[in-house]
Structure 1
Amino acid sequence: MQTMIHNLRYAWRQLRHSPGFTFLGVVTLALGIGANTAMFTVVESVLLRPLPYIDSNRLLHIGLAGTESSGFGSWLDYSDIKDRARTLYGVAAYSNDIAVVQSKDSSVSVVASEVTPNLFQILGVQPLRGRTFLKSEGQANGPQAVLLSEGLWREVFGADPSIVGRSVRVNGHELTVVGVMPRTFRFPESAGPDMEKGIWLPVLPTPEMLKERGYRFLSILAKPALGITAPQVQAELDVIAKRIRDTDSRATRTLTFRAQAYHEMITGPVRHVFLALVAALGLVLLIACANVANLLIARCLARQHEFAVRTALGSGLRRLICQVIVEAGLLSALGSALALLIAYWITAAIHMLPPGMIPQAEEIRVRWTVVLVLCGIATVTTAFSAVLPALFVARTDRQSILQATYRSLGTKSIKAKIGGWLVAGEVALSALLLVAAGLLFRTLWSLEHAVLGFETAGITSFIAVPADASGFGNMMPGAAGTEPASVATTVYVPLLEALRHTPGFRDAALITALPFSGFDVRTSFQVVGWPHDVEHGFQVKLTAVSGGYEKLMGTPVLRGRGIREQDGVNAPFVATINQAMARKYFAGKDPLGQRLDLGGKEIGMLKPYTIVGIIADQIDTGTSQPPQPLVMLPYQQIPTSSLFYPPLLNTVVHFVVKTRGNVNVAPSARATFHRIAPNLALDNFQTMQEAVDQSNFGARLGLYVIAAFAGLAVLMVIAGLYGVLSQIAGQRSREFGVRMALGATRQSILTTVLSRGLAIIAVGLAVGIVLASSMGHLIKAFLYGVKPLDTSTYVFVALVLLVVGTLGALVPAWRAASFEPVKTLREE
């Protein structure tokens, strides 16, 4: 123990006497350890930490396999699984919608999650106040109830302690508040941070939901019985799906259920991104270790005479090695202290990202487990950084050093080449990061220059939610023999007319599902006169638009015409389709004039729609995703008694306004709506350019992060190369002096040192390029518009590293060429 304390004091004195070496070593390790610690904090909080439910690791999400249904199921799918599955403890269903909650003073649009009453039992959660839903409240004629989030209870209702049992107005209906959920309950996580001020409503099955298997908008959550594994559940789901295919004529021949861990479903979009960042940070940490090892080797070279003298005076080899390890450990400890501060800064920056960017972002914070991991990283770093210097000390010929033998210091010694190998390794790892950054830059460029299918200049969008919105879970058609007036005719037509005449507004239009909005209503269809495809079924995305939408958005009409304002309820029913639908379902045929049957009288779509135009594809879910088949219907031609009226028109709709110059749309739009339709809540004002930028934010953030890592690695390469060449120049100073005394020019000495540095860079670059090309398939999933083996990227990386190598070698080479031969001869 006394020896260890002595070694620590001695190491501390040595570090204090070399502030430059200490600063460089501590900062290098702090950046490497701090970034890795912050990344582990994110991974631990998002990917590893269980959800705040009882036995959350057992929860499964059940959806339809394939892309047509986007993973959603119908009420009939849910009922069949719930009634037939024997491996499941419980099965629940839920969907996300938007609702308007009205108080005495205002109306506010909130996220509404419609759930089956047994959901809370499966999750094992208890309300903060009151109770959760009863079974009777999930029936069509049962009591109408609502659960409030704690955030909404506090913000809108002033944390009223008597809120339970009171009636509140939601979507134009009086509902009884039966409970308040705690702040930590944010189910479903897919709704993001908006659930902090959301509500929960019972899913009310309607006659249409009970007979239409193709109407899929529900997410299905299940918990296996104790002792049952996910593969066993999947096997039973396969049997249930086969039975449905064999007995239900409404099911497609490809119907298949897929069970997936609920936590994996939530984190799936970011899981591979985080793992890629962990790998990149691992490379940065290796580079930091190599750099510190190089610094320690250079320091050991400078202290060779000291070590030799101490050995001659009786100091054991073990103690010298221990001294080097303690010095490396002290560097790691100092670096770790600074790294913890860096980790706090990085996690604080993560909380500044747009809401919903990272699942469970509110859970990301530095915990004691993170501090333990930091200590583990510091230990590993110490081991990696100290092993080579310790071996160097162990293999040093102390007798030769004491005799100042010239040949013992030659560059042909393996010890003198260790630093070069380390720098070459740093260059190889840096090449990997630079190639990744270059490919991501090309990806971002491709995304930002992708053909959107619409214009962004001068266009602002916002959403409007009617106070009596029905939403997805309340599909109640009108009474028999009646056809209530459509909100399109009574509200939206006069609103659009007023918006078009608002000062500063050039035009206005309405659409159900604006690009990048995330709203998605899908349906099956048949072409009148074509054979019924029972094997696969036709699936398209459905949206309703006002007249002139294509013109306002600048979307080209390729054939025929677009939707017009004259396409009203008494006009012939028409539709336009996009290129993706024409390619997929009308290959080799002319779509114009074909009639689409969108469900017929069974779901209230009384007439077929005649295709009158084909529009260019619009980027919908993201610039990296291909356009999906789309059918656009005139908003006045959606029957109010149809299954599609509530989710298309009597819920959230998007308005788009084209302005003259830089006009603030929100005040004028709010004034117009307050005058004509005061019961509509407006929200989410943003320009279309902002929507596009937000869709590319993930790619941009990935590029910035990887570029920062690559830049840090390049700086370490410069520092490492500078140190190695300075070491070589110092070792060969006598040789260079003698050579100049015998007639060698300073230019030749400069060239000798430069060529050594470029040789190190070339070796590392060659290894890095080979590694990057062989691992290109691992980054392929992150790329768009560029191949993993993009030649221009690899050439650019090679040029960058060669320039970096030249810069790192220039100063040591210049110093080597500046030796005075007369002074060298005197020393000889």
Structure 2
Amino acid sequence: MSEWAPHVRAQLARLQLDGSRELEIVEELSQHLDERFEELRREGHDEARARQLAVEELVEPTTLAAQMSPLRQAAHAPAPVLGAPKTSRLGDLWQDLRYGGRMLGKNPLIAATAILTIALGIGANSAIFALVDATLLRPLPFPDPAQIVLAWERTPTTSRGLVSPLNMVDWAGRSRSFAAIGGFTANVGGMVMGNADGLADTVSRQWVTADIFTVLGVQPLAGRAFQPSDDLQRRNVVVLGEDFWRERFHGDRQVVGREVRLDGELYTIVGVVPRAAQVIGRTDLWALLSIQGAPARARGSHVFVAVGRLRPGVTREAGQSEIDAVAAALAREFPDTNAQRSVRLEALHEAVFGTELRQTSVLFIGVVGLVLLMCCANVANLLMTRATVRQREFAVRAALGADRRRIIRQLMAESLALAVIGGLLGLAIGAAILRVAPSLMPEALLPTVLTLIIDARIAAFCAVMVLLVGVLFGIAPAWHASSLSAAQTMSGTRSATGRGGRVRELLVAGQVAVVTVLLVGAGLLLRTLMAVEGVDRGYAADQVLSMVVDPMSDTYPTDEAEMQFYGAVEQEIRALPGVQGVAWATTLPLGESYEGTAFFEIEGQPAPATSQRPAADMQIVSPSYFETLGVPVLQGRPFDGRDIAGGVHVCIVNEAFVRRHLPGGSPIGRRLVIRESDSPQAVAVVREIVGVARQVKASPTETEDLLQIYVPMAQDTPGDIFLLVTPRSGPAAALTMPVRQAIGRVDKAQLVSVRHFMTLDEVAAVANARHRFRAILVMAFAALALLLAMVGLFGILAYAVQQRIRDFGVRRALGASTRHVLALVASNAAWVFAGGIVAGLVIANILGRLMVAMLFDVKPSDPVTFLAVAVVLAIGALVSAIAPAWRAARIEPAIALRSE
């Protein structure tokens, strides 16, 4: 003690401690300096250098000097007085934070790594929480949105049927629960808008009733919304959407009252409504469809989605009860059209966001939550390693009077400082993610009304996350560091670090379990994506360009004139060099349909009740459709020149139709009675089956094949229709401009709407977009989690090798081979990863059942996915262990002998 006592007393002199306390500290630190001197000698330093280094460490800020202020306060603290105010905890916290900041500044690499890890976890969580907040928590941007409901007509065959305009009028007039009821058409069409320069282009348009914006509670940005008088007087009026108004008219409020030419007629702009109105459809403008005074036959036409606003204080259950009574009364009054028809009310919020989007949001928040836990585990591992390096500092502090609580508080302050800085950076990363997210998400995945931004709610969420994260990754290092006794630490025994090593191994094993769960989920979604993309679409053509063609009824007022237009366009396009085939159809495979459902009976079979007629998807196609798309006609013949307007009415059905309704015997020659609605007033057309076509998918995830009836367009002239063009060679998209020019040569007045140019591959990609988006995003997070787990394993192995350099050197000196040392290190990695993998696979098998609704043709316990995940993790463990194991194997025996 005599050798070191002068140095220690020199540092303690300014504290003016009492004699007994000073003697106690001098004895403890002298023992520490003796042990440190011997360690430095074993490391190869000569006696003078070892003594110099030991004294320098004594006066470093991380040891004795850093404790001068708290020791001085402790030495001169006045005796406590009963009833006196307590000292400021905020001041102590500020002191801890300042000291923690200085300590982090001395280890910039560790601090930067921890901050970046936290920022990535919190940034991803804040971005995904913005999606969850918008879809699950935040109300729609309307007054009293909980009072807005969708009303569907329910029949024995469907629970979400479109609504008859006259039924909607009666619901509004007879119910007292609703303040107003409006409606809109489910599909958004197009109108040709004439411009001042004599040119024209197509704008999107949706038909609505006069009360629609009143129901939503939308306040116009300029002008007014539709009024009942517009309906009664059947005015040509339109309301513009905010985005279209700003883009086309530069936000000019004087546009109200101006007339625009749409489809060759003049329409008056009466107002502009905000972006929130897009909840009922992505459209440029809304046009009024008058329903007051509609003829009686309109009760059998179902074209609207009804939207109602319940009166204040009326619950959805009460509204449902009253509307049920109204529907029952209408069924008695109009049995031909309303028998067995009831009404189903659905909350607007549920309808807008849908079950699939809500499930996706929950999936994503669960995934990023697990990734954040892994980030916390990695930072905790990092700080535990750093805390082990600082054990001598903690021992000195304990020797100078710092209790366990004081050390824990100091380390927690450092953790919170890291979390706060990481949280601020994470908030910026989250904002950047949300800025680019719309361009990465599939079109129409999110409703237009949904806005993803970082606002006060998201900032508050991040603040809570910062607090939780600071505690989560700080508590383990703080508890471990404070649990070591000064004697253990100063003696340098292996017990001082062994417990920390076990905790770090458990943290990495937990990371492996989490990454296993994420990889299994990503694998199941990837397998689902492969399944939906590998679905047999039913057509063989690999390059097809499609577009919507909508000729105005005033320009082509008769079916003959419209067919002449289609024929002229087809002839003009066939003459283009590089074109192989041209066809027309009202439905795209895996895409939209402009025709809809047809109800049918089979001659020779008992006629079903009106409300129980079976339905099929009806498609109007040109004779060249099957050849152009490569859809084989398996029985009978395709349409040809015999199938004209004055000829025998014919149709072609698909394989599912035959299996379900015409099993046994040939379907060729059988006759169907087809109606375009299930109303008794609907015109019945008897059609003879002339062919059976191969099944063409309407959706990639069909679990039950759709019934399809094809009708020749010469016998049922469509309105909007898809034009399909195939090239002789090369990409189909290259035909876009030549085809537009060809249509323009026929439509010289530019009064035909041509829009939505897409290849069928792009149509299929849109149909699979949600599956692809989910799979890619979860796979990206799973890859990040795997990287974090590999970094964690690398960290504990590298640290273990560093701590056991003398051990490995002695083993080599005693004859251990390189293979033996490599196996020794690899076995540590194997046990950690194996335990995590087993636990993760068990958890994934349980949680996989929650994903059933998101899977297609894949079981939650898919053995291929589980095996692939195990192989990927094994490779990851091997890669993580290579560098530490190689370092251990290359330790020279001389190093061990010299250190000993």
TM-score between the two structures when normalised by the length of structure 1: 0.90
1:728 aligned residue (794, 800, 809): 800
1:181 aligned residue (264, 268, 272): 272
1:403 equivalent to 2:491? Answer yes
In structure 2, the CA distance between the partners of 1:405 and 1:363, relative to structure 1 (3 Å rule), is closer
1:390 equivalent to 2:473? Answer no
Report the AA paired with residue 508 of structure 1.
V
Alpha-carbon offset, residue 766 of structure 1: 0.3
In structure 2, the CA distance between the partners of 1:736 and 1:164, relative to structure 1 (3 Å rule), is closer
In structure 2, the CA distance between the partners of 1:307 and 1:530, relative to structure 1 (3 Å rule), is same
- For the Cα contact (< 8 Å) 2:585–2:619, is it kept in 1? yes
Moved more, 770-779 or 660-669: 660-669
- For the Cα contact (< 8 Å) 2:190–2:753, is it kept in 1? no
Q: In 1, distance between residues paired with 2:516 and 2:154? A: 40
Q: Deviations over 1:633-677 (max 9, x none)?
A: 111212xxxxxx6xxx23x21100111223622222222222222
1:364 aligned residue (433, 438, 452): 452
| Paired residue secondary structure (2:478) | helix
1:73 equivalent to 2:155? Answer no
Alpha-carbon offset, residue 757 of structure 1: 1.0
1:671 equivalent to 2:756? Answer no
- For the Cα contact (< 8 Å) 1:146–1:202, is it kept in 2? no
Task: Tell me the equivalent position of 1:376.
Answer: 464
Q: In 1, distance between residues paired with 2:674 and 2:163? A: 19
Report the AA paired with residue 99 of structure 2.
Y
Q: In 2, distance between residues paired with 1:584 and 1:107? A: 48
In structure 2, the CA distance between the partners of 1:244 and 1:527, relative to structure 1 (3 Å rule), is farther
Alpha-carbon offset, residue 251 of structure 1: 5.2
- For the Cα contact (< 8 Å) 1:53–1:125, is it kept in 2? yes
Alpha-carbon offset, residue 285 of structure 1: 0.6
Report the AA paired with residue 847 of structure 2.
M
Matches within 5 A, 1:314-393: 314-353=401-440, 354-360=442-448, 363-393=451-481
1:263 aligned residue (349, 355, 379): 349
Task: Tell me the equivalent position of 1:657.
Answer: 725
Alpha-carbon offset, residue 758 of structure 1: 0.6
- For the Cα contact (< 8 Å) 1:721–1:809, is it kept in 2? yes
Matches within 5 A, 1:51-62: 51-62=140-151
Task: Tell me the equivalent position of 1:779.
Answer: 851
1:82 aligned residue (172, 187, 200): 172
Task: Tell me the equivalent position of 2:631.
Answer: 555
Task: Tell me the equivalent position of 1:579.
Answer: 655
Alpha-carbon offset, residue 325 of structure 1: 0.7
Q: Deviations over 1:655-701 (max 9, x none)?
A: 00111223622222222222222321211212111211222222222
Q: In 1, distance between residues paired with 2:215 and 2:619? A: 35
- For the Cα contact (< 8 Å) 1:170–1:467, is it kept in 2? no
Moved more, 715-724 or 584-593: 584-593
In structure 2, the CA distance between the partners of 1:288 and 1:666, relative to structure 1 (3 Å rule), is same
Task: Tell me the equivalent position of 2:238.
Answer: 146
Task: Tell me the equivalent position of 1:3.
Answer: 92
Task: Tell me the equivalent position of 1:475.
Answer: none
Task: Tell me the equivalent position of 1:816.
Answer: 888
In structure 2, the CA distance between the partners of 1:204 and 1:213, relative to structure 1 (3 Å rule), is closer
Moved more, 692-701 or 144-153: 144-153
Alpha-carbon offset, residue 594 of structure 1: 2.4
Task: Tell me the equivalent position of 2:771.
Answer: 699
| Paired residue secondary structure (1:775) | helix
- For the Cα contact (< 8 Å) 2:300–2:680, is it kept in 1? no
- For the Cα contact (< 8 Å) 1:455–1:553, is it kept in 2? yes
Q: Which structure 2 segments of 5+ residues have no match? A: 1-89
- For the Cα contact (< 8 Å) 2:488–2:496, is it kept in 1? no
Q: In 1, distance between residues paired with 2:256 and 2:366? A: 50
Q: Deviations over 1:770-798 (max 9, x none)?
A: 01111111112222222211111111100
Report the AA paired with residue 98 of structure 1.
G
In structure 2, the CA distance between the partners of 1:599 and 1:55, relative to structure 1 (3 Å rule), is same
In structure 2, the CA distance between the partners of 1:22 and 1:410, relative to structure 1 (3 Å rule), is closer
Q: In 1, distance between residues paired with 2:781 and 2:486? A: 40
| Paired residue secondary structure (1:608) | strand
Q: In 1, distance between residues paired with 2:417 and 2:793? A: 24
Moved more, 735-744 or 575-584: 735-744
Q: In 2, distance between residues paired with 1:359 and 1:604? A: 35
- For the Cα contact (< 8 Å) 1:559–1:613, is it kept in 2? yes
1:286 equivalent to 2:373? Answer yes
| Paired residue secondary structure (2:647) | coil
| Paired residue secondary structure (1:283) | helix
Q: Deviations over 1:29-82 (max 9, x none)?
A: 111111001111222234433323221232111224587475422224424433
Q: In 1, distance between residues paired with 2:214 and 2:473? A: 53
Report the AA paired with residue 599 of structure 2.
S
- For the Cα contact (< 8 Å) 1:456–1:689, is it kept in 2? no
1:448 equivalent to 2:541? Answer no
Report the AA paired with residue 579 of structure 1.
E
In structure 2, the CA distance between the partners of 1:717 and 1:604, relative to structure 1 (3 Å rule), is closer
Task: Tell me the equivalent position of 1:642.
Answer: none
Q: In 1, distance between residues paired with 2:541 and 2:137? A: 40
- For the Cα contact (< 8 Å) 1:283–1:429, is it kept in 2? yes
| Paired residue secondary structure (1:508) | strand
Task: Tell me the equivalent position of 1:766.
Answer: 838
What RMSD over aligned residues (CA atoms) do the two structures have, in Å? 2.7
Task: Tell me the equivalent position of 2:210.
Answer: 117
1:632 aligned residue (697, 710, 715): 710
Q: Deviations over 1:212-247 (max 9, x none)?
A: 655322101112222222223333344445555566
1:532 equivalent to 2:597? Answer no
- For the Cα contact (< 8 Å) 1:409–1:731, is it kept in 2? no
1:229 equivalent to 2:301? Answer no
- For the Cα contact (< 8 Å) 1:252–1:537, is it kept in 2? no
Alpha-carbon offset, residue 595 of structure 1: 2.1
Matches within 5 A, 1:406-417: 406=494, 408-409=495-496, 411=498, 413=499, 415-417=500-502
Alpha-carbon offset, residue 4 of structure 1: 2.6
Moved more, 429-438 or 693-702: 693-702
The sequence identity of aligned pairs, in percent, is: 30
Task: Tell me the equivalent position of 1:474.
Answer: none
1:44 equivalent to 2:133? Answer yes
Q: In 2, distance between residues paired with 1:251 and 1:823? A: 95
In structure 2, the CA distance between the partners of 1:440 and 1:190, relative to structure 1 (3 Å rule), is farther
Task: Tell me the equivalent position of 2:863.
Answer: 791
Report the AA paired with residue 211 of structure 2.
N
1:427 equivalent to 2:512? Answer yes
| Paired residue secondary structure (1:9) | helix
Alpha-carbon offset, residue 15 of structure 1: 1.9
In structure 2, the CA distance between the partners of 1:619 and 1:206, relative to structure 1 (3 Å rule), is farther
Q: In 2, distance between residues paired with 1:159 and 1:430? A: 50
- For the Cα contact (< 8 Å) 2:300–2:682, is it kept in 1? no
Alpha-carbon offset, residue 487 of structure 1: 4.5
TM-score between the two structures when normalised by the length of structure 2: 0.83
In structure 2, the CA distance between the partners of 1:253 and 1:743, relative to structure 1 (3 Å rule), is farther
| Paired residue secondary structure (1:636) | coil
| Paired residue secondary structure (2:345) | strand
| Paired residue secondary structure (1:226) | coil
Alpha-carbon offset, residue 157 of structure 1: 5.7
In structure 2, the CA distance between the partners of 1:533 and 1:253, relative to structure 1 (3 Å rule), is farther
Report the AA paired with residue 640 of structure 2.
R
1:610 aligned residue (670, 673, 688): 688
Moved more, 687-696 or 662-671: 662-671
Alpha-carbon offset, residue 302 of structure 1: 1.6
Moved more, 367-376 or 141-150: 141-150
- For the Cα contact (< 8 Å) 1:465–1:653, is it kept in 2? yes
- For the Cα contact (< 8 Å) 2:125–2:368, is it kept in 1? yes
In structure 2, the CA distance between the partners of 1:84 and 1:31, relative to structure 1 (3 Å rule), is same
Alpha-carbon offset, residue 185 of structure 1: 4.3
